Copies of this chain bind each other. A is one copy, B any other.
Amino acid sequence: MVNGVERFGVSMAPDLLSRFDEVIAARGYTNRSEAIRDIVRDYLIEQQWESGEGEVIGTLTLVYDHHEHDTMEQLTALQHHYHEAILSTLHIHLDAHHCLEVIVVRGSSTDIRRLADKVITTRGVKHGKLTCTTTGQGLA
């Protein structure tokens, strides 16, 4: 971190604190402050997606059968249409029929939700999920 760190105190009953320490250790944290920062960031990112303000990052996870309909062509057409919002796409051949595609999108949460609806409702897409994350700005 380039520009300094602030430090503040949190008070907690001993019972609550010892349970917290247990749970975060089981999850793999080696440091209480790190765990709290992670929980705080998650809380802020959720709030940012709800508020619709600023720029966020979404990842769209899709599973489809490339033999069915013209799903692949339609998904490609959609992605070209929205190429300014789409940062990158990962494609995996799961088996003879199924493809997994992860599409990374950048924009306002409202725009990303609309694009996600279009992609997920495309005929032939068997499962689609939008994951909400962050550009990292202001979350050092």
Contacts and interface: CB of A to CB of B under 8 A. Distances in A.
A29 B121 contact: yes
Given A34-B123, A57-B63, A126-B41, A14 B6 contact: yes
Task: Please state the number of chain copies in the assembly.
Answer: 4
Size band of the interface chain A makes with B: 35 or more
Contact of A59 (B27, B59, B121, B134): B59
A58 B5 CA distance: 35
Interface string A56-91: 010101011101100000000000000000011010
Interface string A28-52: 1111111111111111110100000
Given A10-B32, A87-B92, 16 more contacts: A1-B68, A3-B13, A5-B11, A5-B14, A7-B12, A9-B9, A9-B33, A20-B43, A36-B40, A45-B127, A61-B133, A63-B136, A90-B104, A97-B136, A100-B104, A129-B132
